[in-house]
Structure 1
């Protein structure tokens, strides 16, 4: 079940890379879009019957009124945040991990938060700030703010993809956007669902031209390679 945390409008002409302005405008026009594109901050709930799992947590307080609506939307869907027993993060960027806490208190008090170790090694280590563009360096402070209450509560669990998270859910490595970005492969009854975060930012552009990257990518070459691989899965 997809549950919204909000939406945010991004200036694609300033953020997307490896595409000419003319090609960008043409791709956007194909979907009746302008350069200002409203994008969704989505999360996903998996009910296995005996587990209630949340994939990503939205932005929490980090993006003002644009995000932070996950708790109320979960309740509207009949889900008490305290019922969530596992949170799986696709990566540590603020619009995916920011919702794990509010005012220093755990938003999902009964949940263990799982994330790839490689993202923790980067974003919780300010000494590595020079490894990312200056425009991305705010993520270090945001990650500390978001994850410190989880760490202090002893509720952060890390893994290294590829790995089986639990029966029916596998974490696949998807590096590039961040070093520890993952795709969660959910399998049941012969069917498979892939849940990802930021493999694609602007569908109208990056589906037909997966080589187009974005300034949010820590490693644009890696992000492009992951996107091309994912679209063939």
Structure 2
């Protein structure tokens, strides 16, 4: 009996004296997060999701729904209101022949919570000098701001930047900028300033709807959010991924209610029609999708729930298949 109690004696004394338990290890809070990247195989391709950061959007920006409906939809998905945390993602695709970045994040155009694509790309094992092609879904600052550094120099020294022709013609047009409401004029300047360094060296390339940009990556018109808003169909060995850009800004609301638009949509009616069409197709074909404002890594499936309503099914974290010989 004595041998049983002796090992417990320090703990009993600590409890009696009100001292911290000797059995409880103490360590400072780490206060750091893991690097913001997630990697998956797609046939022979390798896809790396890159986290640029997150911003808070006001639920009041969502249109075509009552405040009560918005609150209910946000609450059922445990999303805060009125401020909604909204991810900003980019995707790096290694085809074996090309290293293609889809969108470049915001850099510091929208504050310190964004602008982490570059550091997360490096953490994932890639260098911006290895990127040979950047494709942009549309010319909003949170998708193209990361093309240049703080001094305005290209971040991707060897890459051509491929952009939808309709967005190029709209956002880089001085005439369109002159006609735009005052609140939109800064976005035109932002697009022109970001494009200029690549235009100066002949590496800014507008493309037409439906273009194949590199083998296995094709542009798909997804107009409405902007005049040339574009999704990218990625395919290797029969495996498919649709990177749909800004089709959805609030996963909590717009899957259940695809008819809800957002104030940023240039053509809200067309944006709604595009969202409904792509969601219907993705659900029916069980195509894997990725979105720039879906919760990171923003990859998953669309499930039809009936009556034009859908739900978001994110992928599970999974290990990469081992390469031959490993």
TM-score w.r.t. the length of structure 1 is 0.96
Tell me how far 1:134 sits from its aligned partner: 4.3
Between the two proteins, the alignment pairs up a number of residues equal to 232
Q: Secondary structure at the match of 1:232?
A: helix
Structure 1: runs of 5 or more not aligned: none
What is the alpha-carbon distance in structure 2 between the residues aligned to residue 148 and residue 138 of structure 1? 15
Candidates 128, 142, 145, aligned match of 1:81: 128
- Confirm whether residue 148 of structure 1 aligns to residue 196 of structure 2: yes
Indicate how the Cα distance of structure 1 residues 10 and 132 shifts in structure 2: closer, same or farther if over 3 A, else same.
Answer: same
Counterpart position of 2:249? 201
Structure 1 runs of 4+ with >6 Å offset = none
- Confirm whether residue 231 of structure 1 aligns to residue 244 of structure 2: no
Candidates 10, 13, 16, aligned match of 2:62: 16
Alignment of structure 1 residues 36-55 onto 2, 5 Å: 36-55=83-102
Q: State which structure, 1 or 2, has the greater radius of gyration over its C-alpha atoms.
A: 2
Tell me how far 1:10 sits from its aligned partner: 0.6
TM-score w.r.t. the length of structure 2 is 0.69
- The worse-fitting range, judged by mean Cα deviation, of 210-219 and 159-168 is 159-168
Tell me how far 1:61 sits from its aligned partner: 2.5
Q: Say what the alpha-carbon RMSD is for the aligned residues.
A: 1.2
Q: Which has the higher helix share?
A: 1
- Confirm whether residue 137 of structure 1 aligns to residue 180 of structure 2: no
Tell me how far 1:132 sits from its aligned partner: 5.0
Indicate how the Cα distance of structure 1 residues 36 and 22 shifts in structure 2: closer, same or farther if over 3 A, else same.
Answer: same
What is the alpha-carbon distance in structure 1 between the residues aligned to residue 75 and residue 263 of structure 2? 22
Candidates 72, 92, 95, aligned match of 2:119: 72
Does structure 2 retain, via aligned residues, the 8 Å contact 1:92–1:119? Answer: yes
What is the alpha-carbon distance in structure 2 between the residues aligned to residue 200 and residue 152 of structure 1? 33
Indicate how the Cα distance of structure 1 residues 176 and 207 shifts in structure 2: closer, same or farther if over 3 A, else same.
Answer: same
What is the alpha-carbon distance in structure 1 between the residues aligned to residue 90 and residue 265 of structure 2? 20
- Confirm whether residue 186 of structure 1 aligns to residue 224 of structure 2: no
Counterpart position of 2:71? 25
- Confirm whether residue 160 of structure 1 aligns to residue 208 of structure 2: yes
What is the alpha-carbon distance in structure 1 between the residues aligned to residue 78 and residue 210 of structure 2? 38
Counterpart position of 1:60? 107
What is the alpha-carbon distance in structure 2 between the residues aligned to residue 183 and residue 225 of structure 1? 15
Tell me how far 1:131 sits from its aligned partner: 5.8
Alignment of structure 1 residues 123-134 onto 2, 5 Å: 123-129=171-177, 132=180, 134=182
Indicate how the Cα distance of structure 1 residues 230 and 135 shifts in structure 2: closer, same or farther if over 3 A, else same.
Answer: farther
* 1:24-72 CA distance string (max 9 Å, x none): 0010011112221111110000011121110000001311212111111
What is the alpha-carbon distance in structure 2 between the residues aligned to residue 178 and residue 95 of structure 1? 13
* 1:175-216 CA distance string (max 9 Å, x none): 000011111000111111000211000011000101101110
